[in-house]
A and B are shown apart, each in its own frame.
Chain A
Amino acid sequence: MSDQAIRLAGLCKAFGRNQVLRGVDLDLSGGQVTVLMGANGAGKSTLVKILCGVHAADSGSVTLAGQPFKPETPSEALRAGIVTVHQNINDGVVPDLDVASNLLLDGLASGGGVFLNGRKMRARAREIAAAVGLTIDVSRPVAGLSLADRQLVSIARAMAHQPRLLILDEPTSSLSAAEASRLFDLIDSLRARGVAILYISHRMSDIRRLADRIVSMRDGRISGVFEGPELDYSGAVRAMLGHEITEVDITIPQPGLPVLEVRDLVLRPGARPFSLTCHANEVVAITGLVGAGKSEFASVLFGTGAAVSGEVRLDGKPHRPASPRAAIDAGVFLSPKDRPVNAVVADFDILRNLTLPFLKRHSTAQFVRGASELATTRRMISEMGVVCQSPTDGIGTLSGGNQQKVMVARWMAEASRLLLLDEPFQGVDIQARRDIGHKIRETAATRATIVFVAELDEALEIADRVLVMSEHSIVGEHRNENIDVSAIMAQVVDASLPSAAGQ
C-alpha cells in the first residue's frame, strides 16, 4: 500500500510501573477518516501525544510517508505535517490575540524576522481562514469568538501546515448540532484533499456520519479494526469495552428497604427525566460513556451540583445537600473519580488521608486523638489489604492500587446510608480492583451502594443491578443474572438505537 500516510508498529509506552501502550500497530491512509474509540485509560491520549511529539515512545516505530519519524517536540511534529486539534479548544488558540495572529502563530513561534507586518499578516490570515470556510474578521480577538469559531480557528491554523495527518480529539464535545455539521463538512473537504484523519470520539452520531474505518483500543492495544462498506458499530464498542467476563460469581442478595428514591430527576436542561430506587444491601452500578452524566448525578447526590428539577429522597426524607459536608452529615459519602485531583492529599501520610472526612469523630474538644486515628487506620489497612510499611507512610509512596484502596477506605471507615463510588477502579491493577470490589460487596448490607463506572466489565463484576446512563438519563436497567451484554452495549452507545428497545 503506497498511500499510507503513517504507519505505527509495536509502539510501547510506560509511565513508571504503569504500562499504557502495549504494542500498538496501526496504519493510517490519506483520504480516510479513521475513528479511534477507547475507554478512559485505554491509551488513546498517550498515542496522540506520541504522534504529536509530546511524549517519546519507549519502543516501536512510527513511519511517516516511508521515512522513520521521531518528533522530539510538538513543533517538530507540526513541521512534519502532523496536526492536532485538542479536546480543550482553548489549548489550540491564544484567546488574547486576534484571529490573524492565532492563524499565523506557529510561523511566529518558529522564527523568521523580528518585526510584524500587520497588513501582510491579515491578508495571509484571510486566505487561511477562507480555506476552511471561516468567514470572520481576522482582526477580532479570539476571546470574543464562539467555541465553534475558535475551533475552526485552531483547525484553520493547523491547515496552514499542509497536514498529512490531522488528529481531532473529541472535537464536537462542546459544539451545537449546527456547529458540528459545519465541522463535518470541513472534514469531508479535507478528506477529499487526501489528508489522513484520526478522529477520536465516543459520539455514535459523529462516528456514523464520518467514519470510513473504526479502530477500537483497549488496555494499550488495538482491540479491533472495523472497515468495509458496512461498519460494525456494536462490534467496535464491544472491542473497546471488552466483554470477556471471567465467571462473574455474583449472588444477588435480597434487597432491604429503599434508601435512595429518585423521582423525575432532570440533570441538565433538555435531558429526559429519570427515576430510580436503590435499596439497602444492594450494589447498583451506573455505567455509560464518558460525558453521559454519571458524575453530574453523583454531584447532585453529594451536594456539589444541583439538578434542574425532580426529587431525591433519602430514607423517605427529602435530600438536597448544599455542600459535601451536608451530604456527609446525612450519611451520603462519595469517593470521587480522578484520585490525584479530587482525593489524594499528597502532603499527608496514609493515616491523615484516611481520617480526613471524619476528624470530628477522632477528636475531643477539637483536639485530634492520635490513638483513635491510628486504631481506625490500622483496622482499615488490614481490612482493605493496603500494602504498606506503616500507617505513617507518605501516600505518594504507595502504588496506584493501594492509594485507591486508601481513598475507598476513607469512606468505608464510617457507616453510611448511601455510598457513592465514582470510578473506584480508575488506574488500579486487577488485584486491587478485585480487593476493592470484594470489600464493597462484603460491607454492603447496611447501606445502599452506587458505583459509577464507564467499563462494563467493572459493572458486571460488582453490581447486583446495572443501570445504563446516556445523554444524562437512565436508559436501561439490567439485573446482573444471565445478562445480555450486547443489549447493554447498545444502550451504552446510543439510547435511540432500535436494539435498545429490546430490553
Chain B
Amino acid sequence: MQSGSPNAIDLAIKYGFLVLMAGLIVFFGVMAEGFLSPHSAVFILQSVAITGILALGVTATLVVGGFDLSIGAVATSALMLSSYAMVVWQLDAVSAVALCLGMGLLVGLVNGLLIVKMKVPDLLATLGMMFLLVGLQRIPTEGRSISTGMTLPDGTTASGIFSEGFLMLGRHRLDFILPNLVPLSVVFLVLIAIGVWVFLELTRHGRLMYAIGSNAKAAGLAGANVNGYKIAAYMISGTLASFGGVLLAARLGRGDVASGNNLLLDSVAAALIGFAVLGASKPNAFGTAIGALFVGILLQGLTMMNAPYYTQDFIKGGVLVIALVFTFALSGRGGRARG
C-alpha cells in the first residue's frame, strides 16, 4: 500500500468505504427529511453506542487472531446481573457496575484460559461460553425478566430499585451545541474507541498483539508473551461487552432475558466492515467505529424512509459482503481470513 504510485484501485480500496458513507449521508439527507440534523446525528451515535463498544472488544480478539462469540451473551448477562444486583440485592450503582465489569473480566479470563491452556479452538470455546451464559442468566430468576417490584421465585417481592445514578449512564444527556443533546453512552463510545485505538496503535502492547495475530510463532520467538496477550485480548473483549450490557440495562431500566445474538452479529459485522476502512485489511479500532457508524446511518436512514425491518437485515448483510470484498478481493492481500 505504501509503495508505488497511487492508482485508481488503490484509491478505491483506501477511500472507497468513506466515499460510500458520504454518499449515503447525502442520499438520506435528500430523501429523508430531518436526517441532516444534530439530533439525527446523535440518534445514530446512540443507536450504535452499545454494538460499537462490543465491536471494539471483538476487534481486540480479532487482532490476536482470535474470535469471541460470547460477547452478546456477556452483554445480556451483564444486563441481567446489574438488574439483579440492584433490584434483588439492593446494591448501589457503583457496586453493580463494578460487579458487571468484574463478571466480564472473569468470563474473558475463562475464555482465554480455555483457548490458551486447554487448547480449545477459539470459536468453540466462546460458543460454549455463549450457551453457558445464556442459560446461566436465566437461573436466578427462573427465566423471568427483572424489574423493580418483581416477584421472586420464592414468592417475595423484590424491593430494590434501579438507582438514578445507574439509569443516568444510559439516559443522561449532556449539553453540546444544543441543550440535552449528547447521551452519556455516546460519550462512552467515543472514549472507548479512542482508548482502544490508542492502545492498539500507539502502545507496544498493541503492536505485539498485532504481531501475534499475524504470526504467533514469530512473535513468541521475539520474546512476546503470546499466551498472556491472547488472554488479555479476551479479557478486554469480555469487559467491554459487560460494559455494553450495563449501558443496555441503564437504557432499558430492567433486566430482559435475551440471548444477545443480534448484538453479537451487529458488532461482528461492524468489526469486519472495519477491515475495509482506509484499506487497512486488518482489524482496527478506527475502522470498527466507522463500521458501526456506517450500519447505524444505514438503518436510521432506512427507518426514516419507512423500510420494513427485514429489508434492513438484508441490506446489513449486503454491506458486510461488500466490505469483505473490499478487504479480501480488491486489496488482494488477504489480511486475516477469519469470521
Indicate whether A and B interact: yes
Distance in angstroms from A426 CB to nearest chain B CB is: 15
- Contact A343–B221 (Cβ < 8 Å): yes
A410 contacts B222, CB within 8 Å?
A: yes
Chain A residues near B204: list those with CB within 8 A.
Answer: 359-360, 362-363, 366-368
Given A366-B205, A394-B2: A356 in contact with B222 (beta carbons within 8 A): yes
By the criterion CB–CB under 8 Å, are B217 and A347 in contact? no
Nearest A residue to B282, CB-CB: A347
Output the least CB separation between A169 and chain B (Å): 24
Report the nearest B residue to A343, measured CB to CB: B218
Among A324, A341, A344, A347, chain B packs the most CB atoms within 10 A around the CB of: A347
Tally of A-B residue pairs with Cβ under 8 A? 85
CB pair A357 B213 closer than 8 Å? no
Interface 9-mer from A105-113, A121-129, A385-393: A385-393
A182 to chain B, nearest CB (A): 34
What residues on B are CB-neighbors of A410 within 8 Å? 222
B225 within 8 A of A: yes
Residues A325 and B218 in contact in the complex (CB < 8 Å), given A347-B282, A359-B208: no
Q: Does A348 lie within 8 Å of B214, measured CB to CB?
A: yes
A38 in contact (CB, < 8 A): no
- Is B219 an interface position by the 8 A CB rule? yes
A146 within 8 A of partner (CB) = no
* Minimum Cβ distance to chain B for residue A382 (Å): 19
Q: Does A328 contact B (CB under 8 A)?
A: yes
Cβ A342 vs Cβ B221 within 8 A = yes
Across the interface, name the chain B residue whose C-beta is closest to A392.
B2
Digitize B194-234: 1 where CB-to-A-CB distance is under 8 Å, 0 elsewhere: 00000000111101101101110111111111000000000
When each residue 339-358 of chain A gets 1 if its CB lies under 8 Å from chain B and 0 otherwise, what string results? 00111111111001000110
CB-CB contacts below 8 Å: B132-172 with A: none
Contacts A394-B2, A397-B3 given; does A345 touch B203 at CB 8 Å: no
Complex contact B218–A366 (CB within 8 A): no
A299 to B12, CA, bound (A): 46
Q: Which of B203, B211, B217, B224 contacts A342 (CB 8 A)?
A: B217
Closest approach, in angstroms, between the C-beta of B227 and any C-beta of chain A?
10
Please tell me if B318 contacts chain A, counting CB pairs below 8 Å: no
Contact of B218 among A328, A342, A394 (CB under 8 A): A342
Known: A356-B211, A359-B207, A359-B208. A341 touches B222 (CB 8 A): no
- Chain B residues near A341: list those with CB within 8 A: 215, 217-218
Is the Cβ of B223 less than 8 Å from the Cβ of A328? yes
B222, A324: Cβ atoms closer than 8 Å: yes
On whether the beta carbons of B208 and A325 are closer than 8 Å, the reply is: no
The answer to the question of B335 belonging to the interface, with a C-beta cut-off of 8 Å to chain A, is yes
Interface status of B11 (Cβ within 8 A of chain A): no
A92 is an interface residue with CB less than 8 A from chain B: no
User: How far is it, in angstroms, between the C-alpha of A343 and the C-alpha of B219 when the chains are bound?
Assistant: 8
Q: Do residues B203 and A389 form an inter-chain contact, with CB atoms below 8 A? A: no
| Residues in B neighbouring A397, C-beta threshold 8 A | 3
- In the complex, the answer to whether A324 meets B335 with C-beta atoms within 8 Å is no
- Do A344 and B218 touch across chains, with their CB atoms under 8 A apart? yes
Which single member of B1, B207, B220 contacts A324 (CB below 8 Å)? B220
Which residues 78-101 in A have Cβ within 8 Å of B in the complex?
A: none
Closest B residue to A346 by CB, please name it: B214
Docked pose: A448 CA to B23 CA in angstroms: 62
> Quick one: CB contact mask for A302-315 with B, threshold 8 Å, 1 for yes?
10100000000000
Inter-chain CA distance A347–B337, complex, in Å, is 13
Closest A residue to B198 by CB, please name it: A367
* List of A residues within 8 angstroms of B1 by Cβ: 394
Q: Nearest-CB distance from B69 to chain A (Å)?
A: 23
Nearest CB to that of B220 among chain A residues? Answer: A324
On whether the beta carbons of B211 and A348 are closer than 8 Å, the reply is yes
CB distance from B209 to the nearest CB of A (A): 11
Known: A345-B214, A346-B215. A357 touches B2 (CB 8 A): no
Taking CB atoms, residues of chain A closer than 8 Å to B282 are: 347
Please state if A389 and B3 are interface contacts (CB–CB under 8 Å): yes
The CA-CA distance from A304 to B222 in the complex, in Å, is 12
What are the residues of chain A within 8 A of B224 when measuring CB–CB?
A: 325, 356
Q: Nearest Cβ distance between residue A284 and chain B, in whole angstroms?
A: 21
Task: Check A366/B203 contact, CB under 8 A, given A324-B220, A324-B222, A347-B214.
Answer: yes
- With A347-B335, A359-B207, A367-B202 as known contacts, state yes or no: A324 contacts B223, CB within 8 Å: yes
Q: Residue A334 at the B interface, CB < 8 A?
A: yes
Q: Which of B204, B208, B220, B333 has the most CB of A within 10 A?
A: B204
A30 part of interface (Cβ distance < 8 Å) = no
Min Cβ gap A399→B in Å is 14
Residues on A with C-beta less than 8 A from B333 are 396
A336 within 8 A of B: yes
- Asked if B221 and A334 sit within 8 Å, CB to CB, the answer is yes
Separation of A311 and B194 alpha carbons in the complex (Å) = 50
Bound complex: CA A343 to CA B222 (Å): 8
Interface residues of B in 77-109 (CB under 8 A from A): none
A390 touches B2 (CB 8 A): yes
Q: Answer whether A349 and B219 are a contact pair too, CB < 8 Å, given A366-B203, A368-B204.
A: no
Q: Which of A324, A328, A349, A410 has the most CB of B within 10 A?
A: A324
A324-B202 contact in complex given A347-B210, A352-B207, A394-B1, C-beta closer than 8 Å: no
Residues of A within 8 A of B213 (CB): 347
Instruction: Give the residues in chain B near A302, CB-CB below 8 Å.
Output: 221
Q: Which of B1-35 contact A (CB under 8 A)?
A: 1-3
Max chain B C-beta neighbours (<10 A), residue from A334, A345, A352:
A345
Does B203 lie within 8 Å of A325, measured CB to CB? Answer: no
**Complex contact B211–A345 (CB within 8 A):** yes
CA–CA, A356 and B223, complex, Å: 9
Evaluate whether A367 and B215 lie within 8 angstroms (CB atoms) in the complex, with A324-B221, A328-B223, A348-B210 already known.
no
How far is B214's CA from A341's CA once the two chains are assembled, in angstroms?
A: 11
| Smallest CB gap from B335: residue in A | A347
A452 CB to closest chain B CB (Å) equals: 14
* A347–B3 CA distance with the chains assembled, in angstroms: 15
- B-side residues, CB < 8 A to A, are 1-3, 202-205, 207-208, 210-211, 213-215, 217-225, 282, 333, 335-336
Knowing that A304-B221, A349-B2, A394-B1 are A-B contacts, what are 4 other residue pairs whose CB atoms are under 8 Å apart, sorted by A's residue number? A342-B218, A368-B204, A390-B3, A396-B333
- In the complex, 11 of the A-B residue pairs with CB atoms within 8 angstroms, ordered by the A residue number, are A324-B221, A325-B223, A325-B225, A341-B215, A341-B218, A342-B217, A342-B218, A342-B221, A352-B207, A359-B204, A363-B204
Q: Which 10 A-B pairs have the closest CB atoms?
A: A347-B214, A359-B204, A357-B222, A325-B223, A356-B222, A328-B223, A363-B204, A345-B214, A366-B203, A345-B215
